[in-house]
Structure 1
Amino acid sequence: MGRVIETDVVVVGGGPAGINAALASGRLGAGTILVERYGFLGGMSTAALVYPWMTFHTEKGEQVIKGIAQEIVERLQERGGSPGHLRDTVGFVHTVTPYHPEIYKLLAVEMLKEAGVKLLVHSFVDHVAVEGDRIAAVQITTKSGKYEIRGKVFVDATGDADVAHLSGAPTSKGREGDGRTQPMTMKFRMRGVDLEQVRAYMLAHPEDFYHKTPFGELNKLPLTGVQGFYSQWKSSGVPINRDQVLFFTGPEKDEVLINCTRVQGLDGTDVEDLTEAEEIGRRQVLLMSEFLKNKVPGFSQASISSVGTQIGIRETRRIAGEYSLTIDDVVQGRKFHDGIARSGYPVDIHDPSGKGVTAADIQGDGAYDIPYRCLLPQRIDNLLAAGRCISTTHEALATTRLTPSCMATGQAAGTAAAISHLDGTVPRKINVSRLQEALRQAGAVL
């Protein structure tokens, strides 16, 4: 074994959930290390071009995700890295939040330094040492050899529940019954798009677009997203198993992010499946770009400007927690005594095998609670989950997996980890009321 590092809190995974967890922990005074496998931060938001962030609000426009997530948006705005929250012109949610991925990458590092967090990139966790019912250390493989990072509390923000899985904590994967997961998507950007031509076509052919598109306001709103071009897609012959075109605008004025490729039936935790998925996804990118240039108004002069570093993954492993959030919890807008985050994003299940998307709105005030128990794995006492791998059913994951929700559970997990360490106890035994008060003081909405 190589070098040994000791700290209080270890966060694994440098995506939005991990960033917010490490910031929350560091700001409360716990010695904190953040481990990330790429050479940059941002997770799916940067490596896979998942864009824009959606959504911080309910369908009626109430902002239910704030705290560190909102601070990041405001600091991005200060340096021209985001226009803030804008109306969603697809009409699926109330707002979307565009951001510049390169500015976000650097801002995240700066904020972590301000919070006293030690960052280790190019570091891949490949072993978890467990003593009894606690993790003693994680082992990372790096360019300079293997390191052992020993900590008191660990946060799994890997998206794939890698730490939980390696520790022996129970996990599940995919939908109940057949284990199939939501499809993977290789996202890409195109420059040279004439968005005013796109807008003009939408206004002239509303039947060709998503039924919730706010056509009455389309002349006044900045175009943020488009879902439709049904007639062009139907006659396209492109061999991708979906039913429409979807793209979002920005960050540049002539640029869009295309969310149209669909890789189904492969496991995002299997290296051979991932290898195949990367090839299929990149092949689909070229097919989609040619279709858009040749058939879709506004794209005739467009060209590919960037493709994801890796394929985007919606669903893999998730922990089996003290509580598993259900679709009924989400749709009914259920409130919990141990709620540590809220979300207004509707259910959005991309079919694991078919063409479509299953959607369901949230009743009541338009938001649901995420209980603290969803962050607590069974069997391992000093581990918390954050982001995409918290404890939910397959259907409920279709809303908790969205980035703002992951940011919120990340802040909650990091806060709980720091409180656990400072109180000399394990996460499942902390005073939840104290956790909730700490989150409120840090700007979170509960």
Structure 2
Amino acid sequence: MNRRDFLEFLSLGSGAILTSNGLVLSTSAQGNPVYGQELRADVVIAGGGLGGCAAALAALRNHLTVILTEETDWLGGQLTQQGVPPDEHAWIETHGATQLYRDFRTAIRNFYKQHYPLTHEAKAEPFLNPGEGAVSRLAHEPRVALAVLHQLLAPYLSSKKLTLLLEHKISGAEVTQDKVTALQAQDLRQGKNITLVAPYFVDATELGDLLPLTKTEFVTGTESRRVTRELHAPEKADPENQQAFTMCLAMDYVPNGNHLIEKPAEYEFWRNFKPAMNPPWSGRLLDLNYSDPKTLKPKALGFHPEGVPTGQMLNLWNYRRIIFKNNFVPGTYAGDSSILNWPQNDYFLGNLVGVGEAELKKNVQRAKQLSLSLFYWLQTEAPRPDGGQGWPGLRLRGDLLSTPDGLAKYPYIRESRRIKAVFTVLEEHVGAENRALITGQKENNLAADFKDSVGIGYYHIDLHPSSRGHNYIDFASLPFQIPLGALLPQRMENLLPANKNIGTTHITNGCYRLHPVEWSIGEAVGLLTAFALQKKVIPRAVREKPDLLQEFQKTVRAQGIATQWPK
């Protein structure tokens, strides 16, 4: 694909599909479903985030037909539509993720090397980091990840093994006893419905939307310490105590520019807002001070959109920077681009789970106002090193997210409904301090060894401030496994989770919710559907029968998914 074709692809926007042989197509060219009738496949996957895409790719490469629905017009979930550069662990380049996930990351780097005017030094860098963001070894534009996902899926679209329904939301379900028999998908553009039928269904939605629709048992919020015995769990359960969500925002900086936005309608509220939290927040939310997640003591942050060092303080501009202009031929970019996803625009005054549609929309709208208010504060009032105030050269970049307002297409979700699983991952299995209490060892502890492991992952246990006024909970975890039992609902036979809706607790969700782990969960679920269909058994039987479990784990490992960390 030459540069002219690439620019045409970018201009096509959300409907564009870049195929593996370089062809630029539109989703409309793939054929439209007949509304009011049925579509059938081996598996229906609701939700086109990283877990949904990984589940689809795993099922497809194992010769299943797949229907994949996505509520927005972009695949990729937190990496694309939510605007969040990948949060990953220190060993991601060599291990701790599936081979397919590492191939996906390599393809993103190759996309830049093939289509962007990189400097010679950047092009020669094997571990290219386009944005040099502090949060990731591969901070990049959401649209590039979208292009690579479509490259991976294109052969299956072409062969009609995959039916992709963008801007479709699951609106209903048909259930007979312990099985889902069909889902209803609504076309959000036309308001029409189509019935989706399959032997297996996967809930890869961001909020676990299929669970209440299918009457699958689930939990929300915090469990009590009495039930889970977790060191950091509260004494009382609270289903409404859920982590903050965030409306991310894309921006760049034009030196000496003036790109002031209109003052947001809720600016005065957010400018003066002081979170009421326990333990206390550091002061005002719109400030360059915040509560240190680990100590909860006030901590100063820096901000300089020209990337100038800010002493011992983290420069927030560099934290989620997705374009570092020095990686590109001089003159390509006027300045760097970054994502606004900081503690200061976490929204914790309401939930998205367990509320009605009107309340959900209100909370999303207020979260947008918070992010725009923070951006306006940066433009007008943020302290500068020279003693002045504000950076009017900051510019909203909605084009980087394919939105008119500069905000992401969808909220960044940290916590979902969670299935009541055959096995639930507890803090004692993966939390470093809690694990030490269980084992009696202060050092050299390992996470629990799960005999039914179908993947591995790592992230510290990171819980953002909650809707019930709980401040950060952030502490060390151990490199962990993904147990098959956590992917199995206690009762339902043919519905599987593939996002943040697996069998974790409020606490352990904090380390199972990040990009590579969600991908690993989805890929394992895609393989499980293929294996269960091949063996003519329900997924629970794979775990219950030792011979089947060993055979499935052998299949998993043969397809590039490690089940144990290197010793």
- For normalisation by structure 2, the TM-score amounts to 0.65
What are the Cα deviations for residues 16-61 of structure 1, in whole angstroms up to 9, with x where unaligned?
A: 00000000000001111111111221123222212x21115459x8
What are the Cα deviations for residues 89-126 of structure 1, in whole angstroms up to 9, with x where unaligned?
A: 998x8x54323211222321231232432211121111
Number of the residue aligned with 1:178: 238
Residue 245 of structure 1 and its aligned partner are, at CA, apart by: 5.6
Q: 1:251 is matched by which residue type in structure 2?
A: I
* TM-align CA RMSD: 3.2
Residue 310 of structure 1 and its aligned partner are, at CA, apart by: 2.6
Q: 2:422 is matched by which residue type in structure 1?
A: E
Q: 2:505 is matched by which residue type in structure 1?
A: T
Q: 1:117 is matched by which residue type in structure 2?
A: L
Say which of 366, 372, 378 aligns to 1:286: 372
What are the Cα deviations for residues 310-361 of structure 1, in whole angstroms up to 9, with x where unaligned?
A: 3222113111111111122122422201111211101001121447422111
Number of the residue aligned with 2:249: 188
- The 5 Å alignment of 1:31-430 reads 31-50=65-84, 52-58=85-91, 63-80=95-112, 84=127, 95-115=136-156, 116-142=161-187, 143=190, 145-176=192-223, 177-179=237-239, 180-192=241-253, 229-230=300-301, 247-253=319-325, 254-260=336-342, 261-269=345-353, 270=355, 271-293=357-379, 294-297=381-384, 300=391, 301-305=393-397, 306-331=406-431, 332=435, 333-352=447-466, 353-354=468-469, 356-363=471-478, 367-430=479-542
Q: 1:40 is matched by which residue type in structure 2?
A: W
Q: Residue 453 of structure 2 contacts residue 484 of structure 2 at CA under 8 Å; is this kept in 1?
A: yes
Task: Classify the secondary structure of the residue corresponding to 1:420.
Answer: helix
Task: Classify the secondary structure of the residue corresponding to 1:445.
Answer: coil
What are the Cα deviations for residues 66-97 of structure 1, in whole angstroms up to 9, with x where unaligned?
A: 32211111111111189857699998x8x543
Q: 1:386 is matched by which residue type in structure 2?
A: A
Task: Classify the secondary structure of the residue corresponding to 1:323.
Answer: coil
Give, in whole Å, the separation in 2 of the partners of 1:357 and 1:96.
25
* Aligned residue pair count: 404
2:497 paired with 1:437: no
Task: Classify the secondary structure of the residue corresponding to 1:392.
Answer: coil
What are the Cα deviations for residues 271-314 of structure 1, in whole angstroms up to 9, with x where unaligned?
A: 22321222222221222113323425587222222311232221
Q: Residue 125 of structure 1 contacts residue 138 of structure 1 at CA under 8 Å; is this kept in 2?
A: yes
Q: Residue 170 of structure 1 contacts residue 319 of structure 1 at CA under 8 Å; is this kept in 2?
A: yes
- For normalisation by structure 1, the TM-score amounts to 0.82
Q: Residue 346 of structure 1 contacts residue 359 of structure 1 at CA under 8 Å; is this kept in 2?
A: yes
Give, in whole Å, the separation in 2 of the partners of 1:312 and 1:6.
31
Given the superposition, is the C-alpha separation of residues 140 and 349 from structure 1 closer, same or farther in structure 2, using an over 3 Å criterion?
A: same
Give, in whole Å, the separation in 2 of the partners of 1:308 and 1:435.
38
Number of the residue aligned with 1:26: 60
Give, in whole Å, the separation in 2 of the partners of 1:144 and 1:263.
30
Give, in whole Å, the separation in 2 of the partners of 1:369 and 1:297.
45
Residue 209 of structure 1 and its aligned partner are, at CA, apart by: 10
Look at both structures and tell me which one has the larger radius of gyration over its CA atoms.
2
Task: Classify the secondary structure of the residue corresponding to 1:388.
Answer: coil
Given the superposition, is the C-alpha separation of residues 315 and 154 from structure 1 closer, same or farther in structure 2, using an over 3 Å criterion?
A: same
Given the superposition, is the C-alpha separation of residues 54 and 127 from structure 1 closer, same or farther in structure 2, using an over 3 Å criterion?
A: same
Given the superposition, is the C-alpha separation of residues 291 and 425 from structure 1 closer, same or farther in structure 2, using an over 3 Å criterion?
A: same
Unaligned runs of 5+ in 2: 1-34, 117-125, 224-236, 256-287, 304-314, 326-335, 398-405, 436-446, 543-547
Task: Classify the secondary structure of the residue corresponding to 1:2.
Answer: coil
Give, in whole Å, the separation in 2 of the partners of 1:432 and 1:382.
17
Number of the residue aligned with 2:279: none
Q: Residue 130 of structure 2 contacts residue 140 of structure 2 at CA under 8 Å; is this kept in 1?
A: no
Task: Classify the secondary structure of the residue corresponding to 2:112.
Answer: coil
Task: Classify the secondary structure of the residue corresponding to 2:360.
Answer: helix
Q: 2:165 is matched by which residue type in structure 1?
A: L
Residue 210 of structure 1 and its aligned partner are, at CA, apart by: 10
Q: 1:127 is matched by which residue type in structure 2?
A: G
Give, in whole Å, the separation in 1 of the partners of 2:42 and 2:212.
21
Percentage of pairs with the same residue: 23
Q: 1:9 is matched by which residue type in structure 2?
A: V
Return 341-350 or 304-313, whichever deviates more: 304-313
Given the superposition, is the C-alpha separation of residues 432 and 229 from structure 1 closer, same or farther in structure 2, using an over 3 Å criterion?
A: same
Residue 208 of structure 1 and its aligned partner are, at CA, apart by: 8.4
Q: Residue 132 of structure 2 contacts residue 324 of structure 2 at CA under 8 Å; is this kept in 1?
A: no
Give, in whole Å, the separation in 2 of the partners of 1:297 and 1:438.
56
Residue 161 of structure 1 and its aligned partner are, at CA, apart by: 1.7
Q: Which has the higher contact order (CA 8 A, sep 6+)?
A: 1
Number of the residue aligned with 2:261: none
Runs ≥4 in structure 1, deviation > 6 angstroms? 87-91, 207-212
Return 427-436 or 76-85, whichever deviates more: 76-85
Q: 1:42 is matched by which residue type in structure 2?
A: G
Residue 13 of structure 1 and its aligned partner are, at CA, apart by: 0.5
Give, in whole Å, the separation in 2 of the partners of 1:210 and 1:268.
24
Number of the residue aligned with 1:223: none
Give, in whole Å, the separation in 2 of the partners of 1:165 and 1:397.
19
Task: Classify the secondary structure of the residue corresponding to 2:105.
Answer: helix
Given the superposition, is the C-alpha separation of residues 249 and 422 from structure 1 closer, same or farther in structure 2, using an over 3 Å criterion?
A: same
Task: Classify the secondary structure of the residue corresponding to 2:500.
Answer: helix
Give, in whole Å, the separation in 2 of the partners of 1:130 and 1:377.
15
Unaligned runs of 5+ in 1: 195-206, 213-226, 233-243
Give, in whole Å, the separation in 2 of the partners of 1:285 and 1:37.
22
Q: Residue 268 of structure 1 contacts residue 315 of structure 1 at CA under 8 Å; is this kept in 2?
A: no
What are the Cα deviations for residues 390-419 of structure 1, in whole angstroms up to 9, with x where unaligned?
A: 111000011111111100100000010111
Given the superposition, is the C-alpha separation of residues 89 and 36 from structure 1 closer, same or farther in structure 2, using an over 3 Å criterion?
A: closer
